[in-house]
Amino acid sequence: MNANPEQQAATPLPDETYYRRGEGARRWGSLLLVVGLIWLVFEVMTRGSFLGIGLGFVERSATLPEARYRAERVVVSGLHDRIELVRGSGAEVVLEVTRRGYGWNGASAEHALDGLVPVVTEQDGVLAVEVSRPTTVGAFLGRRPMADLRLRIPEGVAVEAHLTSGDIVVRNVQSDLQLHNISGMISTQGTIGSLTVHNTSGKTEVRDHRGPFAAENMSGTVEAEGRLEAPQVRTVSGSIRLDGANGAVDVRSISGSVELKDARNAQLTLDTTSGTIEAIVALAPAMEHSITTISGGVQLHLLPADDLRLVATTISGDISSNLRFDERNEERRQLSGTIGRGSTQLTVATTSGSIHIDGP
């Protein structure tokens, strides 16, 4: 028997796997603890509360006095801000800026707010507006300060707007517009003039637009209605819905459906790789029209249909039509026919999908 129990307790354990089996669990436990702490910090910094308990995260805002400028063109840029363009009543561009800062307390929120500085330059009739902000190591933590930029735009003053992350909102502006956003929504209503939209990731919504229209979306839907002149729309991943298009209608999507309503005097080029195509349209006479999809069906309603030469083909799918052809040739995977002189040529093709075409 060992007379010294302390010496017995200090005897090391054998260096065998059995005695070291808890080390991996301890390492995983430490890792999960670190991840939990990071999550807790993130929740506190971004929400200002944890489990419903407020932790003193505050907001401060300040609206700067409005400023007036004369310009032929406006270029406005921001990061994670908000840009609002509205119709102006006079001959001057009116700029209103509201800065918003966030922090642990009032002092830190005020400090974040003061770091936002609107920078305005004028040169050769171009008014440039951007928001300067400090670059700090901890700028990624917590809710970032932002600015609301509101501009009243006189009729005929062209505008180009750029955002990295945020929303662009336009109301009743009667000017040519170019709107660019990387991550956020673009929304317009009651606009007159040329409208061009580029959106990387976000929805594009256009209401009651009158004039030429073009849009490119990488990921997000495009919805537009009004009197859309010669619309050109492209999406990589996102559906397209147009209501009221006329002229040369060029719509293409890689992965997304295409829907066309109330298209008048339209020369169609509709193409999607994966998605259905639905159209209610009055075709421009004596023109060539094309509708193509690889994986998806086509439903077409023609208004009217008194002068047409149709060729519809599918590899895997059915073809049907209630049009009253003067001459009709129908096979299992192809339908061709002529109505009237046949000067309006329509080609519809799908690889995998059915085709249905009807008239009034």
199 within 8 A of 186, measured Cβ to Cβ: yes
Quick one: pLDDT band at residue 140, thresholds 50, 70, 90?
very low
Whether the predicted pLDDT of 317 surpasses 80: yes
Token code pair at residue 230? 């010669």
The residue count of the chain comes to 360
Quick one: pLDDT band at residue 136, thresholds 50, 70, 90?
low
Three-state DSSP state, 206? strand
In the DSSP assignment, the letter for residue 242 is E
Whether the predicted pLDDT of 152 surpasses 80: yes
**Nearest Cα residue to 354 out of 320, 309, 310, 311:** 320
CA atoms of 65 and 61, how far apart (whole Å): 13
Whether the predicted pLDDT of 39 surpasses 70: no
**Is the peptide bond preceding residue 360 cis, with omega within 30 degrees of 0?**
no
Percent pLDDT > 90 in the chain is 70
Q: What is the structure's pLDDT at 180?
A: 98
77-130 pLDDT, tens per residue? 998 899 999 999 999 999 999 998 887 777 878 888 888 889 999 999 999 999
Three-state DSSP state, 325? coil
Q: Which comes out higher in pLDDT, residue 24 or 157?
A: 157
Chain center to CA of 311: 35
Whether the predicted pLDDT of 229 surpasses 80: yes
Strands (E), 175-239: 177-183, 186-189, 195-201, 204-219, 222-237
273-304 pLDDT, tens per residue? 999 999 999 999 999 999 999 999 999 999 98
Whether the predicted pLDDT of 137 surpasses 50: no
Question: How far is the CA of 190 from the CAs of 77, 88, 205, 231, in angstroms?
Answer: 23, 13, 12, 17
CA atoms of 8 and 238, how far apart (whole Å): 72
Q: What is the structure's pLDDT at 209?
A: 99
Indicate the pTM of the whole model: 0.81
192-224 pLDDT, tens per residue? 999 999 999 999 999 999 999 999 999 999 999
CA atoms of 290 and 345, how far apart (whole Å): 9
Three-state DSSP state, 2? coil
Positive or negative CA dihedral for 162, 168, 174, 176?
positive
110 within 8 A of 168, measured Cβ to Cβ: no
Q: What is the structure's pLDDT at 15?
A: 57
Whether the predicted pLDDT of 53 surpasses 60: no
CA atoms of 256 and 47, how far apart (whole Å): 35
Whether the predicted pLDDT of 323 surpasses 90: yes
CA atoms of 218 and 11, how far apart (whole Å): 67
Q: What is the structure's pLDDT at 114?
A: 83
Quick one: pLDDT band at residue 57, thresholds 50, 70, 90?
low
**Nearest Cα residue to 215 out of 196, 238, 194:** 196
- In sequence order, which residues have a C-beta less than 8 Å from that of residue 220 and are 6 or more positions away? 199, 201, 202, 203, 204, 235, 237, 238
Q: What is the structure's pLDDT at 139?
A: 45
315 within 8 A of 352, measured Cβ to Cβ: yes
